Every structure is written in C-alpha cells, then in structure tokens.
C-alpha cells in the first residue's frame, strides 16, 4: 500500500496547476484577442501571403505626401532601417530623382533641373550615381556625387545616350546610344573623357540595356538580333565568338538584365503573354538553370545581394515590391507610386547615409506640381445638378465638347504634347463627346465617349506612321501604349524606341496567323518618339482595355481612346449629363404570337383525331441601359 504524498509535494503540485491555469486564462482572455487583432507578423506575411499578381490596381495618390501616407502601414521587411530607394519619377513635364522608403523616408525630390533625369546606376564604391539626362537639351550621361550633389557631365553629343552601367573598377561606363538609326552598346572611359567611346555591338537589330558583370569580363544586354528581345552576353576578353544568347526563350520577351553584387546570379524580367516575372540565372549551376523569382519587371539588387527590388507595372499605375534571394519570398508588400518610373536603385549603408545627408541640406518642393485645375465656366448651372458641356477651342472633330470639369485638363495636355513632339497631336480627333442622337458602334454599348469624359485620337497619323501603338497585356486584358514621332529628329525631342509596335492592319494581309491574333508585331520604327500614354496619365487621362472581340472587330480595340472616369462607372457618368429616362429604355418586345398545341378530339370510326388549339405565349419586357435615338439637345447643357 502506497504511503500518502508529503504535504510539500501536494503544495508544489497545486502551485504548478494554478500557474498553468493562469497562463491558459491569460492566453484566452488577453493575448489571443490581441494577436488576432494584430494579424501575423511581417515575416509570416512574407512567407505565407498571397502570391503576387502582375498588375495591381491601387488608388492613385494625388500628391507625394498622399503616397507616403498610404505606405506608412507597409510591414517592415528584411533590410536595414537606413536603406532607401532612389527613383526616377515622371514629374510634371519632366522626370526627376526622388528618395523614398516605405517606412522611414517619404518621397522627396532631389533634382529639380528642367529636362529629364533617368536610368540611375550606382557606382561600385556606392558613392556616385551615373544617369542620363536631357537637362542641356540633348540626352547625355552624367555622374552625381552623393556626398555633395555635384554633377559631372560625361558625354556631349546630339544623339541619345542612356542606361549607363559601371565597370567593377569604376573606370568605365557601358551604355546604349542611338547612332546610324540603331541602338548599340558603347564603352566610355571615365579616366579619359576626351577619348572616343568604343562601340561594342554593331548588329542591325537593336542592342541596349547593358549590365557589366562584377568580375569585369562580361556584359549582358538585350538584343533583338534573333528576331525576339532576348538576353545576350558579350565576352570582353574574346574577339571570335564574343556574343552568346543566354535566354533562348521563344514566345517571350526578355529585358533589363542585372548582375548580383557577387556575380553569381543574373536577373532579368520575362514577359510571357502579359504575365511579367523576374527570373534568376545561376552561373554556378552546371545546367544553366533559370528559376522564377516573382512577379515584376526591372530587377534591382540590394547592395549585399540578399534581395531584389522589382517594379510592378499596371495599365494605369505602377508599384514596388521586393523578394528575398534565392527563396523568392516577398519581403515588401505592394507599394503604389504616384507616377511612372524611369529607373530605380537600392541605396544601403554609406550610400544611403551620404544621400540622406545631402538631401537634408537640399531644400526642394516635395509635392508633384499641379498641371491643371478645373474651372467651371458655364452659367447658369445645368438643371438637377447635371454637368454642362463646353467647347474645345480649335479642335477639328464633329462634336468638339467635353464636360466642363475636364476641358482644362485636355487643353493643358494638348499644349504639353505639342511642346514635346513639335506638332499639335490633339488638334484633330476622331471623336470627343458623342451625343445620344448618334447610334453606338456595334457591340460597344457602354461607350465612354457618350459621357463627355473621353476622346479618341485621329487614326490618320497611325496610317501615316506618326503614331504607333505598342501592345501591353495585363491579367488577360489588352492595353495599348501610344507613341508619337517627334517633328525634330535631331535628338532634342523624344527617345528611340526599343519595343515592337503592334500592326492592327496586318490582319488583312492574307496571313492566317495575323488574322487570328488581330494583327502582328511590326518592325521597330526609326527615329525619336514621345510616350503619349505616360504624358496623358500625368494629366489624369487613362487608357481603356480592348474589348474581347478586338481581334476581329477593329473598333473594339479602343487603341486610340483616353478617358477620365473620376471613379465613376459608365451609368453614373452618364447620369451626370442625362436623366435616367434618357438612357434607360425598354428592350424591344415582339407582339405575342400563338403556338399550336395538339389536343385529342373524338371522331366517329376512330378512337382519336389530333387537331391544334392556339395558346398565347407571354413575353416579359426587360429594361437595359444603352444609348438610343432621341431628339438632339437644343443647347450644350442637357
């Protein structure tokens, strides 16, 4: 028979039981609700969060402060707190450099000169930034010293020069230049700026976007010499067999190669039918394996090589994210940007400290400039609070009207495009406002031109080669980026194209494949071009996706249309101009008809004889929203 436990053991057992019960009570009553409210830690979100998409659609901030406020809640990610990003952003009619960090550094402008500052590249010692700029009227290369903001000019030619990349010893720059109507890669000595540059490539196809490897003997670049944009390498220590196709990927477009700081990995972005992703090539892998890392474009390495920053493009807005290398874990949630980017770099350590110290002593305005302000000019005000239509001055179009709140934006955009291209692109349009008296195009019931919030470019410049459209797919939808050829082809306006336009008319050339896919890629046109889609976005005008039948119906491509929706759907936008009765009309209902229904009727000598008795089949009318033929408005204020 067991003897009873000593009293001390029973007391210790009771104390232990009480302690366990107290912990359980705390966990259930206090800790669990707190943890549930806070959600998972940032590390858990990075590892287990939803897979990134190629084109998020966040709300566009109107100012830099708004963008910074929106991103203050971004979780911390695997980087030093002193890190920051240097970004080239569209800034009014220009492009300037801004520093930014989602947690510690609001967007701050650091360059203010007229012109455009683009394509920043960090030097090997982390104390200088090479970039391309048109601050002198032509595209040349410059070097910015982070410690004091001093800028040194490297090239001085009328031709375009851009996308610089440093040699490992900091004594050379590789860059792209447009000469003899073609893009090629050149090398410029920084020790002897008076020496002529060395031409590295001379293929008839465009060669651009060079990236100098850390070991110094290889330069990766993008080339279309194989018929598609692919990643090639140039061995600097060879004369024969110098060039090699690294990606060799059919049916995809590759761009923006970037070497890891230790030279092991080469990252680039791949566009596969609108699905954009970053991939890694490991030069230590004997099989040359290429592994996907995550969604995005334009990979930029963290200086220690542990992560990659990526630009997430969208149809009307861009964002940033970052991935751990080589796991691909997303370590930065999507951070929307207020304008289109034109290059970015990751600053860390002494680079970030030098930039921060110089920026603090360099007072600049932090807000994006106001490019236009709405002015309501129609008096008296339209009835029932509806919007009024105003005439666009000197615009050749059948109905030269927009709603009163948007004509200032159109006029300001028109003047800006004319200044940058040298010709008045918006002086003649295919359509602007479309009244209800005009029937809709087949299959295009909800046409934004009826709302007075959109316009369509004249198709004649497309046929003449003065406008081209580059196809861009996002999440299964097709959009178009419009470029305008500049009047002066001397390097003072626009930049050369490195992308193939889409020829919609190729569907009629007898090629079965071109007919089925709604066109075909066209050769890259020569000369200098201005991105109208980027300019229009700065003034609030967005492009529309093509309709599902655009491959067989030309008008459904909506290649030339721009709108300002103002956050409204089509019905609400129409309600700003018209009463509901004007756009909600009953669907055509046919006259009820009789249907013969067999019945059995007795007949002498037979059991049954079949005849027919008429019955009425009811038809229920339904209402739909579509423009219909109605009397034309007597004034411009419906």
Banded pLDDT at 24 (limits 50, 70, 90): low
Check if the beta carbon of residue 484 is closer than 8 Å to that of residue 539.
no
User: In the predicted model, is pLDDT for residue 167 greater than 60?
Assistant: yes
User: In the predicted model, is pLDDT for residue 39 greater than 80?
Assistant: no
Spell out the domain ranges in the chain.
Answer: 64-360, 383-583
Top-confidence range, 12-26, 73-87, 233-247, 605-619: 233-247
- Work out the percent of the chain whose per-residue pLDDT is above 90: 60
Question: Which residues, at least 6 apart from 174, have a Cβ–Cβ distance to it below 8 Å?
Answer: 164, 165, 167, 185, 186, 187, 200, 210, 211, 212, 219
Between 199-203, 230-234, 270-274, 496-500, the lowest mean confidence (pLDDT) is in 270-274
CA dist list (Å): 209 to 119, 142, 227: 10, 17, 17
Banded pLDDT at 301 (limits 50, 70, 90): very high
Element (DSSP H or E) covering residue 570: helix 570-575
Question: Which residues, at least 6 apart from 164, have a Cβ–Cβ distance to it below 8 Å?
Answer: 119, 121, 130, 131, 132, 141, 173, 174, 175
Task: Indicate the CATH number of 64-360 among 2.40.50.180, 3.40.50.720, 3.40.50.1370, 2.120.10.30.
Answer: 2.120.10.30
What average pLDDT does range 469-483 have in this prediction? 95
User: In the predicted model, is pLDDT for residue 455 greater than 60?
Assistant: yes
What average pLDDT does range 146-169 have in this prediction? 94
Q: What is the pLDDT of residue 469?
A: 97
Number of other residues whose CB lies within 10 A of the CB of residue 12: 12
DSSP string over 280-296: EEETTSTT--EEEEEE-
Banded pLDDT at 13 (limits 50, 70, 90): low
Tell how far CA 214 is from the center of its chain.
30
Q: What is the pLDDT of residue 264?
A: 94
Question: What's the chain's Rg over C-alpha atoms?
Answer: 31
Pairing of strands 477-485, 467-474: antiparallel
Banded pLDDT at 6 (limits 50, 70, 90): low
Q: What is the pLDDT of residue 33?
A: 39
What average pLDDT does range 363-386 have in this prediction? 74
pLDDT tens track for 382-403: 666 788 999 999 999 999 999 9
pLDDT tens track for 533-580: 999 999 999 999 999 999 999 999 999 999 999 999 999 999 999 888
Task: State the average pLDDT for the chain.
Answer: 82
Q: What is the pLDDT of residue 78?
A: 39
Question: Which residues, at least 6 apart from 273, have a Cβ–Cβ distance to it below 8 Å?
Answer: 251, 473
Q: How many CA atoms lie within 13 A of 9 on its CB side?
A: 4
Q: DSSP state, 20?
A: H
Lookup result for tokens 């070097």 = 143
Q: How many CA atoms lie within 13 A of 191 on its CB side?
A: 5
Q: What is the pLDDT of residue 505?
A: 93
- Work out the percent of the chain whose per-residue pLDDT is above 70: 77
Pairing of strands 561-563, 230-235: unpaired
Element (DSSP H or E) covering residue 481: strand 477-485
C-alpha angle 118-270-303 in degrees, rounded to nearest 5: 55
Between 262-266, 322-326, 510-514, 586-590, the lowest mean confidence (pLDDT) is in 586-590
pLDDT tens track for 125-137: 999 999 999 999 9
Q: What is the pLDDT of residue 381?
A: 66
Strands of 117-122's sheet, edge to edge? 117-122, 128-133, 140-145, 151-153
């Amino acid at each position: 028979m067991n003897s009873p436990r000593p009293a001390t053991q029973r007391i210790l057992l009771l104390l232990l039981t009480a302690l366990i019960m107290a912990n359980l009570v705390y966990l259930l009553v206090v800790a669990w609700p707190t943890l549930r409210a806070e959600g998972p830690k940032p590390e858990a979100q990075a590892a287990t969060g939803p897979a990134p998409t190629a084109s998020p659609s966040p709300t566009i901030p109107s100012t830099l402060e708004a963008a910074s406020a929106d991103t203050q809640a971004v979780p911390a990610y695997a980087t030093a707190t002193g890190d920051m990003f240097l970004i080239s952003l569209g800034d009014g009619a220009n492009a300037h450099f801004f520093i930014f960090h989602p947690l510690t550094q609001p967007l701050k402008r650091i360059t203010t000169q007229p012109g455009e500052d683009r394509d920043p590249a960090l030097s090997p010692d982390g104390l200088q930034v090479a970039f391309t700029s048109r601050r002198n009227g032509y595209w040349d290369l410059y070097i910015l010293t982070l410690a004091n903001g001093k800028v040194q000019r490297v090239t001085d030619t009328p031709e375009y020069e851009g996308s610089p990349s440093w040699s490992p010893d900091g004594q050379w720059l590789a860059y792209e230049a447009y000469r003899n109507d073609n893009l090629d890669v050149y090398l410029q000595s920084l020790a002897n700026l008076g020496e002529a540059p060395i031409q590295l490539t001379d293929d008839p196809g465009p060669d651009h976007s060079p990236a100098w490897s850390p070991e110094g003997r290889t330069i990766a670049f993008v080339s279309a010499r194989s018929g598609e944009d692919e990643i090639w390498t140039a061995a600097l220590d060879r004369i024969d067999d110098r060039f090699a196709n690294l990606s060799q990927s059919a049916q995809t477009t590759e761009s923006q190669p970037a070497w890891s700081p230790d030279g092991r990995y080469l990252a680039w972005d791949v566009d596969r039918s609108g699905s954009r992703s970053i991939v890694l090539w490991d030069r230590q892998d004997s099989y040359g394996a290429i592994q996907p890392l995550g969604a995005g474009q334009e990979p930029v390495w963290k200086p220690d090589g542990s992560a990659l920053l990526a630009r997430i493009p969208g149809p009307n807005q861009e964002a940033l994210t970052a991935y751990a290398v080589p796991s691909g874990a997303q370590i930065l949630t999507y951070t929307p940007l207020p304008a289109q980017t034109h290059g970015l770099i990751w600053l860390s350590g002494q680079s970030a400290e030098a930039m921060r110290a110089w920026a603090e002593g360099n007072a600049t305005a932090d807000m994006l400039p106001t490019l236009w302000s709405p002015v309501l000019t129609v008096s008296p005000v339209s009835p029932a609070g509806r919007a009024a239509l105003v005439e666009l001055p000197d615009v050749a179009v059948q109905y030269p009207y927009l709603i009163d709140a948007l004509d200032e934006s159109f006029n300001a955009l028109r003047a800006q495009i004319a200044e940058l291209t040298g010709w008045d692109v918006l002086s003649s349009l295919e359509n602007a406002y479309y009244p209800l008296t005009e029937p809709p195009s087949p299959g295009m019931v909800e046409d934004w031109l009826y709302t007075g919030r959109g316009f369509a470019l004249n198709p004649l410049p497309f046929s003449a080669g003065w406008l081209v459209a580059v196809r861009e797919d996002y999440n299964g939808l097709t959009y178009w980026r419009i470029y305008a050829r500049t009047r002066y082809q001397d390097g003072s306006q626009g930049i050369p194209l490195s992308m193939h336009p889409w020829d919609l008319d190729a569907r009629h050339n007898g090629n079965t494949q071109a007919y089925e896919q709604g066109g075909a890629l066209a050769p890259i046109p020569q000369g200098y071009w201005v991105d109208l889609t980027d300019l229009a976005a700065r003034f609030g005008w967005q492009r529309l996706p093509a309709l599902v039948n655009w491959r067989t119906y030309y008008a459904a491509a909506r290649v030339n249309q721009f709108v300002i929706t103002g956050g409204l759907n089509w019905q609400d936008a129409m309600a700003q101009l018209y009463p509901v009765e004007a756009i909600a009309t009953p669907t055509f209902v046919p006259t009820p008809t009789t249907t013969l229904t067999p019945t059995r009727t007795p007949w002498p000598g037979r059991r049954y004889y079949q005849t027919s008795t008429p019955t009425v089949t009811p038809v229920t009318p339904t209402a739909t929203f579509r423009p219909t033929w109605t009397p034309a408005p007597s004034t411009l204020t419906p």
